[in-house]
Amino acid sequence: MSLKHILKSIFIEPLALISRDKAGLIGFIILVGILFMSFIGPYFVKLDTEVKLDKIYQFPSREHILGTDNQGRDIFSQIVNGGKDVIIVAFLAGLISTLIAVTLGSLSAYAGGITDTIIMFITEIILTIPQFPLLAVLAAFIRLTNPTMLALIIGFLGWPALARAIRAQVLSIRERDYIEAARVLDLGRAHIIFSEILPNMLSYIVISFIMAMTGAVYSQVGLIILGLVPFYGHNWGLMIQLAWTRGAIFYKGSIFYILSPIIAIALFQWSAITFTRSLEGIFNPRLRTGE
């Protein structure tokens, strides 16, 4: 296969498929933009840590696009540098949740019987416990000193809802003729789950992952705002926490300080979710053109 062919299938074809759904394309563009800003941006826009008491809560200007915070520091640089940690933790947490949910959900659905009953029982117990208060309590007991710990905890609490959805999907796919044929051909349980069933659920799984990730963003930011996560680095959640505790919601001038991280987070969530609309086009071989 020529280089042109490879480039085409990695870049152009998926782009063409994504742009089938106009909203999905916009979501994709904004998502990529935010990722770019958060991971590559920091090399260009250094975090402004200099305290300038004469420039407190300044309105946006040419010098400071989003204005300054309560200590005169540039807000824009904070936004550019503030996404990385949040996104990484959310990504990890979403990944952990999805992996657990897919494994347990599909095993539960395919094996049926006692296995199903036990797994669903555990799932339901965790589901009925209010997520966020539980998280808050756990955060108080476990010393959350590094982001991985945080991701693990959020991930381990987030899988039950996904598992039920995955299980329902697998239950319906399990009855299809090609799965029956695979059983009669004695292809084995593992093969059937991972090679036959799951590939048909790819877009569903990716959507579940994105939902898990966005959920993790909220859990994370919630914990940070409540001050339950010890200060580490700098991120959007922290910005909201600091702005809030400094009373930024009471001043007209400080509105950018508190709104900027909120809008950044909301934009990230929205673009990720809207992007899922394009996923059907990518994963469904029937919608692919020219093969």
Partner 1 sequence: MEDNVIVRLDHVSKFFTVRTSIFGGRKVAQVIGNLSLSIKRGGILCLVGESGCGKTTTGKLIVGLARPTSGKVLFEGQDIWDMDGESFRRYRKSVQIIHQDPYSSLNPMHRVYNILSAPLLRHRIVKDKSEAEKKVLELLEKVDLTPPEDFIYKHPHQLSGGQRQRVVIARSLTLDPKFIVADEAVSMLDVSIRLSIIDILRRLKSEANVTFLFITHDLAMAKYFGWEGRIAVMYLGRIVEIGLTPRVIENPLHPYTKALLMAIPEADPEITNLLNLPPGCTFNPRCPFWIEGLCEKQEPSLFEPEKDHYVACHLFKGNDRPTDRTSSI
The nearer residue to partner 1, 30 or 187, going by C-beta atoms, is 187
Q: How far apart are CA 238 and CA 47, in angstroms?
A: 14
Residue 54 contacts partner 1 per CB under 8 A:
no
Q: Pick between residue 62 and residue 286 the one whose CB is nearest to partner 1.
A: 286
Please answer whether residues 208 and 194 qualify as being in contact, where contact means their C-beta atoms are separated by less than 8 angstroms: no
Helix, strand or coil, per DSSP, at residue 70: coil
Distance of alpha carbon 202 from the chain centroid = 17
Q: How far is the CB of 191 from partner 1 (least distance, A)?
A: 7
- Provide the minimum distance between the beta carbon of 177 and partner 1 in the complex, in angstroms, as a whole number: 4
Considering the complex, what minimum distance in angstroms separates the CB of residue 193 from partner 1?
A: 13
- Residue number, 133 or 290, with CB nearest to partner 1: 290
Q: Would you say 167 and 106 are in contact if contact means Cβ atoms under 8 Å apart?
A: yes
In this complex, which beta carbon is closest to partner 1, that of residue 194 or of residue 218?
A: 194
List the Cα angle 39/40/44 in 5-degree steps: 130
Whether residue 73 contacts residue 51, with contact meaning beta carbons closer than 8 Å, is answered with: yes
Euclidean distance between CA atoms 170 and 172, whole angstroms: 5
- From the CB of 283, what's the least distance to partner 1, in Å? 8
CA gap 276, 291 in Å, rounded: 24
Tell how far CA 124 is from the center of its chain. 23
User: What is the CB neighbour count within 10 angstroms for residue 240?
Assistant: 24
Alpha-carbon Rg for the chain in angstroms: 23
Map residue 284 onto helix, strand or coil: coil
- At 284, phi and psi to the nearest 5? -90, 110
Which residue in the set 141, 285, 289, 290 belongs to the binding site for partner 1 (CB under 8 A)? Answer: 285
Number of residues that bind partner 1 (CB under 8 A): 21
**What's the closest the beta carbon of residue 126 comes to partner 1, in angstroms?**
28
Nearer to partner 1 (CB atom), residue 149 or residue 187: 187
Residues 172-211 that bind partner 1 (CB under 8 A): 176-178, 180-188, 191, 195-196, 199-200, 202
Residue number with CB closer to partner 1 (113 or 133): 113
Site string for partner 1, 229-258 (x = CB under 8 A): ------------------------------
Q: Cβ 218 to partner 1, closest distance in Å?
A: 33
Closer to partner 1 by CB, 9 or 145: give it. 9
| Structural tokens at position 71 | 């200590």
Entry field: residues in the chain: 291
Kindly state the smallest distance separating residue 187's Cβ from partner 1, in Å. Answer: 6
Return the number of the residue (185 or 249) whose C-beta is nearest partner 1: 185
DSSP E strands, 208-266: none
Positions in the binding site for partner 1 (CB under 8 A): 176-178, 180-188, 191, 195-196, 199-200, 202, 285-286, 291
